[in-house]
Amino acid sequence: MHPQAEASTLEENFSFYFTQGFRAALPIVLGYLPLGFAYGVLAREAGFSLWETVLLSVFLYAGSGQFIAVSLFSNGVALAAIIFTVFLVNLRHLLFSASFVPHLRRFKPAVLALLAAEITDETFAVAISHYADHDPRLPYHFGLHLTAHSSWVLASLLGGLAGNLIGDPARFGFNFALPAMFIILLVMQLKDKKTLLVAGLAAIFSVAIAMVWPGNWNIILATVLAATLGVILEPWTGKS
């Protein structure tokens, strides 16, 4: 094939698969816009500047992690505790990245690192479903991730700009955005007796620890304890 024709074909293929990823991200965008806006409002209310609000969405890019960071920061929690909490919450992304290995192992490590940094719950679900009847294509991932991330940053910017105009975000229910998101994530995970047991144990541990140990460590400790017991009890819950 002539070099010019080959270059044209590659460009067309990139455009085709990038557009596929862009279209696949549109439902995600519809969910990110209101949630990112709520994050921007709450971040400004917590004392973040507009640029700090936006840059957190650029570099951290983790909805639940950002809401938690803002909430803990507004309550005066130590920076080390905030970092550790966000790390635990986003630890599931290691499993997401590992799930892509069989599909993307032929690509360069630097490219895979970039893709891994852009994975969210929603883009992972869309991409892993796409692999059921499609071959992995990097342009598809670029289109999917760039569209989703850009919408999150834009929503954060709009929320940050509106933060000072809205005043008290509690009047509009923005302060319930984080609990609502985690309630949804929890309900989505309650698929069998094992997950229901772990969720129940986590709730009991969290309340019990909070009653005897003031502070914000009850959630972290309850998560670790409940997950550990879930692994230990898995043989029995699986059989039942």
Residue 182: what pLDDT? Answer: 64
Q: How many residues are present in the chain?
A: 240
Lowest mean pLDDT among 10-14, 52-56, 130-134, 191-195: 10-14
pLDDT at 170: 63
Residue 12 CA, distance from chain mean position: 32
> Please, are residues 43 and 56 in contact by the beta-carbon 8 Å criterion?
yes
The H or E element that residue 47 is part of is none
**Mean pLDDT value across residues 156-162:** 92
pLDDT band at 12 (very low <50, low <70, confident <90, very high): low
Instruction: Give 163-212 pLDDT, tens digit per residue.
Output: 767 666 666 666 666 566 567 667 766 777 777 888 888 889 888 988 88
60-119 pLDDT tens trace = 998 888 988 898 888 888 888 888 888 887 877 887 888 888 888 888 888 888 888 899
With residue 106 as reference, give the H or E element that holds it: none
Sequence-distant (≥ 6) Cβ neighbours of residue 35 within 8 angstroms:
63, 155, 177, 181
pLDDT at site 5: 40
